[in-house]
Structure 1
Amino acid sequence: MTNAKYKLKGLLATFFAMLVLDASAQQPVTIWKTTAEPLAEMARIRKLINAPIFPAKDFLITKYGAKGDGKTLNTEAFKKAIADCAKNGGGRVVVPLGNFLTGAIHLKSNVNLHLADNAKIIFSANPKHYPIVFGRWEGMELMNYSAFIYAYGQKNIAITGKGILDGNATYKDWYAWNVGKPSKQVKARDVLHDLNHKQTNPKTRVFGEGDFLRPNFIQLYSCNSILIADVKMVNSPMWNVNPVLCENVTIENLRIIAHGSNTDGVNPESCKNVLIRNCYFDTGDDCIAIKSGRDQDGRRIGRPAENHIIENCEMKDGHGGVVIGSEISGGARNIFAINCIMDSPNLDRILRLKTSSSRGGIIENVFMKDIKVGAYRDAAVTCNMFYEKPGNFMPVIRNIWVENIDVEKGGDYAIFVNAYKESPVENLRMINCNIRGVKTPMKIDHVKNFKLENVTINGKLMTK
């Protein structure tokens, strides 16, 4: 398809997406009336999520020439082992005890990349070891450096085992690309934004050497039936776990530690049926950030984030514990977060919904329950429609249910809402919440059907 034809297709898609968005925003939405209703919906969604199962066959990477000395580059050994595993019907590609240096690892269908206990994969800091592939970068499609672990259009794939994935990022290499004012990445980032707004063909948006757009740690694109379990992830160059346009995703028992800029923990984008459980986050950005594409790309593709369950997770440092946005132009619905622990003076927010009128999209049916909080810095619950520059696509936030949040030491606000008068936050309900030690109980402008039931802030029972 020529660029002109693609641009016309993109403009038409955006126009019709606007019509659909306007229509859907006006449609009646089911309003939960009791706690039992969202819990029943969560139980229904849980049945749709099933981790893949693999044949009982092992393919040891050392048999393909890999050396765990921390110095030998093992990219080809990983490639050969994965290809052989896939060719023979699937199984586990096993990383034994040792320190295995490598460039990009590309997974194939029916392959489980499995790390033995305490085995370590160390990723090279040389950008030349990451080929240019098709993916997303901050919610925009492009050709750029491969994620450290990448897959496109595969099914039944996994990364498992009680080993360590070390992104090896430092301020001498990957992190240095996004420091200073302006940072090295700013020029290319601005170009990518412009190409997105012009709706050029994403496969002609080619970035790489000299553009300084950092790769994500794990990006699985248009894949189905995924398991990421048990590994420890450290020193990611940017976002850690980023499934895009995927379905049936299980992420469990991860331990993610990274404190560079934009080192989000788990960022599902435009995914359906996602389970995130029993994970630990100590990050330099959002712990869990649910997304669905930025601006024109998000509207053109039009895939919402839907049916996500987050449970039994622990959040330490980060901009937000459970976050929806900001790249949310495709919308988000049916997001559930229960039984989590959050505690750090460097954790800004507990539940954060962030969007803008350049994003648009509908965020609806968000349920959070049984959250134990030691400390946070900014706000327990945030709904912000002015996260970035304004545009012509009015965002919608509706049907948000927050129950049983207990906070020992709050920050600036308990509840913060900054919405458009033309699009107030609708049906925000908080039940049985106790938030102590905040500077300002509530800062709220435009809401509709806002309800507080047995909510205590700084020892005072609150009313609207």
Structure 2
Amino acid sequence: MSVLKPKILFSILMLAIIFSCNNKRDEVNVVNHWSKMQQIIDSISVPVFSDKVFSVIDYGSVADGVFDNTKSFKDAIKACSQNGGGKVLIPKGKYFSGPIHLEDNVNLHLEDGAEILFSTNPKDYYPLVHTSYEGTELMNYSPLIYAYKKKNIAITGKGILNGQASNDNWWPWCGKDFYGWKEGMGNQKDSLNLPVLMEMGENNTPVNERVFGENHFLRPSFIQPFECVDVMIKDVKIINAPFWVMHPIKCTNVIIDGVTVESHGPNNDGCDPEYSKNVWIKNCTFNTGDDCIAIKSGRNGDGRRVAIKSENIVIQNCKMIDGHGGVVIGSEISAGVRNVFAENCTMDSPNLDRAIRIKTNSKRGGVVENIYVRNIEIGQVKECVLKVNMFYGIYGVQSGDFIPVVKNIYLENITVKNGGEFGILAKGYKESPISNINFKNVSIEKVGQPYSLENVENINFENTYINGNLMTSIKN
């Protein structure tokens, strides 16, 4: 029997200790990151309002679904804000209105049984405001509910916000037959519309010179707090949106709680935090025509101009039904995204394409890092459980000189009954591989292939089974 020399034995022991320490350090780091999630939650301020109530009825509103309440809503909101804030009450009934602009310290509260029916006439959404379309800032139609540089605002109550978008209005502007577009109609893809806006973003044209609106067919977001602090959207139901549903942009401290989104139009993302920090999305239901939650940070040159990361995003206890993805990052992502936490959610629909999705390309660039997902129950998804695509492309060629970076993705305690085509579908760049994907205590059933990988480094599987087979880590 050969005996190991003391030096060799010492080397082996040291390697074992280092390996053990590295594993423990990785585990500690993950635990520390989940405790960081609680720190984020604890740091988010909940808006607080005066007990004063300003009923829109007292300012001339009529709940017949026909009378134009735009002015009476505006008057009630102005009076509330100027008198120290409080609740602007929308009593039970149907109220027709144009855009609603919130002011400081105002809680727009819809009683159970109240419904706001928003105008479908684009001219009602003048004057144009500073807003954003698919990650590029511009002057365009006002969002249906808008707040610009406001503090301590909320939309609450058990009522309904109805954008009234359909194949007869707003939706055809996307240019797709399925949504009512017909040959000869204008649409966002026309050469003087979205392509011009994209070019302005690349050329750093001043935002006040990016004037669109009528005859440019760029749809307004439904709810958009723009550069606001301490924002809450709670309990309302939102249906039939023209475009993105909830779009907090350049905001800090946002709570979205108990909201139901049912809107199957084009680009009907449920919630799109963009350039925003400390966002808490909880207890919501998303049933959408696009991504359920899509975290963004600007498109291409305009995103690099703004250069504000979206960070510290917490998603808890949400239900995802239809959608292109459950929790999505991108594709407008040029300023980067970091520190995203999702836990205790359910996802299940034959019309849900992916559970977790990251999409970018070399025009977008940006760094996506530190994505933590745990305690997720997935019934059925079409394509895959996790998709990371660095070559996402719409609107023609999407290659450029800004190679993105994607790293540090953790999925833990995930059960999937029907995983679709792939467990993991990931495609990176040779010069910028996707790195450090971690699956722990994951079970995926009824999936076509465990994974399809291109330029991916370090996939760590711990107690992970795909189609009943224990998976082995892949080190590169």
Contact between 1:32 and 1:399, CA under 8 Å: does it hold in 2?
no
Residue pairs, 1:50-449, within 5 angstroms: 50-131=45-126, 132-180=128-176, 184-187=187-190, 188-388=193-393, 389-449=398-458
Runs ≥4 in structure 1, deviation > 6 angstroms? none
Query: Which amino acid in the other structure matches residue 360 of structure 1?
Result: G
Q: 2:26, 2:255 → 1: CA distance?
A: 26
Distance of 1:366 and 1:118 partners within structure 2: 39
Higher relative contact order (CA 8 A, sep 6+): 1
| Corresponding position of 2:464 | 455
Provide Cα deviations, 1:382-406, integer angstroms capped at 9, x if missing partner. Answer: 1110012111111000111111110
Write the deviation string for residues 288-321 of structure 1: whole angstroms up to 9, x where unpaired: 0000111111111110000010000000000000
Aligned to 1:22: none
Contact 1:405–1:432 under 8 Å retained in 2 = yes
Whole-Å separation in 1 of the counterparts to 2:306 and 2:419:
39
Provide TM-score, normalisation by structure 2.
0.90
Pick which of 177-186 and 448-457 moved more: 177-186
- Mark the runs of 5 or more structure 1 residues left unpaired by the alignment: 1-30
| 1:191 counterpart SS class | helix
On the 8 A contact 1:64/1:80 being kept in 2, the answer is yes
TM-score (norm 1): 0.92
Matched positions, count: 434
User: 1:33 aligns to what SS in structure 2?
Assistant: helix
Match of 2:6 in 1: none
* 1:32 CA drift (Å): 4.6
Unaligned runs of 5+ in 2: 1-24, 178-182
Partner of 1:33: 27
Q: Secondary structure at the match of 1:200?
A: coil
Q: Is the 8 A contact 2:56 2:76 kept in 1?
A: yes
Contact 2:87-2:109 at 8 Å conserved across structures? yes
| Alignment check: 8 A CA contact 2:270 2:286 kept | yes
1:124 CA displacement = 0.6
Distance 1:445 1:151 in 2: 43
Paired letter, 1:320: G
Secondary structure of 1:449's counterpart equals strand
Aligned mates of 2:26, 2:313 — CA distance in 1: 17
Residue 449 of structure 1, CA deviation: 2.2
Task: Give the whole-Å Cα distance in 1 for the aligned partners of 2:306 and 2:55.
Answer: 39
Q: Which residue of 2 aligns with 1:21?
A: none
- Once residues 410 and 450 of structure 1 are traced to their aligned partners in structure 2, the CA distance between those partners, rounded to angstroms, is 18
- CA shift at 1:447, angstroms? 1.6
Root mean square deviation, CA, Å: 1.1
- The SS at the match of 1:157 is strand
Which amino acid letter does the alignment assign opposite residue 278 of structure 1? N
Q: Is the aligned partner of 1:47 residue 2:50?
A: no
Q: What is the CA–CA distance in structure 1 between the aligned matches of 2:348 and 2:401, rounded to whole Å?
A: 37
What is the rounded CA distance, in whole Å, between the counterparts of 1:121 and 1:236 in structure 2?
Answer: 13
- Percent identity between matched residues is 49
Structure 2 CA distance for aligned equivalents of residues 378 and 304 of structure 1: 29
